[in-house]
Amino acid sequence: MTALRQSGFDRVIHELRESSVPILGICVGMQMLFEYSSESGGHEGLGLIPGQVRRLEGSRRLPQMQWNQLELVEEAGDLYRGVESKAWVYFVHSYAVPSSDYATAYSFYGQRFVASIQSGRIFGTQYHPEKSSRAGIELLSNFVSYAKGSRR
């Protein structure tokens, strides 16, 4: 967040949101969308999504670097069109959001955590869709289609 603020890119993200431009945060990018993170001694996030990012608990090895299954919520939204409900996706992280009213999918690694979110035109994935085979390609394709459609 420090580097993001020093570069002024945090203001750009807020301007994009105010202009109704779709935003997709991936991994740490999703975490920065929230109000607060306990990582690196704690810091404020962009505050675009209510909630806090916390270190994963339990005795599991961190960072989690592996494939995990998604658990899509009932109204997972447009990004998950064509993605199977228990799709395998690739995670690399030690911090996550435990729960959120904006969750579109969850996963489990010693504890249940938010795997993806959506609030209006703001989207985020804790996992890496670019490394997640067919499910990830489908999600990215759906985001591009959504972004193209939102310009009309």
Q: What is the mean pLDDT of residues 115-143?
A: 96
- Domain count along the chain: 1
Domain that holds residue 105: 2-150
User: Known catalytic residue: 74?
Assistant: no
- Looking at residue 141, which CATH number applies to its domain? 3.40.50.880
Helix (H) or strand (E) holding 2: helix 2-7
User: Known catalytic residue: 27?
Assistant: yes
Catalytic residue among 18, 27, 71, 74: 27
Q: What is the dihedral of CA 60, 65, 66, 70, to 10 degrees?
A: 80
pLDDT digits (tens, 9 = 90+) for 36-88: 999 988 999 999 999 999 999 888 899 999 999 999 998 888 899 999 989 99
Catalytic residue among 35, 39, 71, 128: 128
User: Known catalytic residue: 128?
Assistant: yes
In three-state secondary structure terms, 90 is strand
Catalytic residue among 15, 44, 57, 130: 130
Helix (H) or strand (E) holding 103: strand 103-108
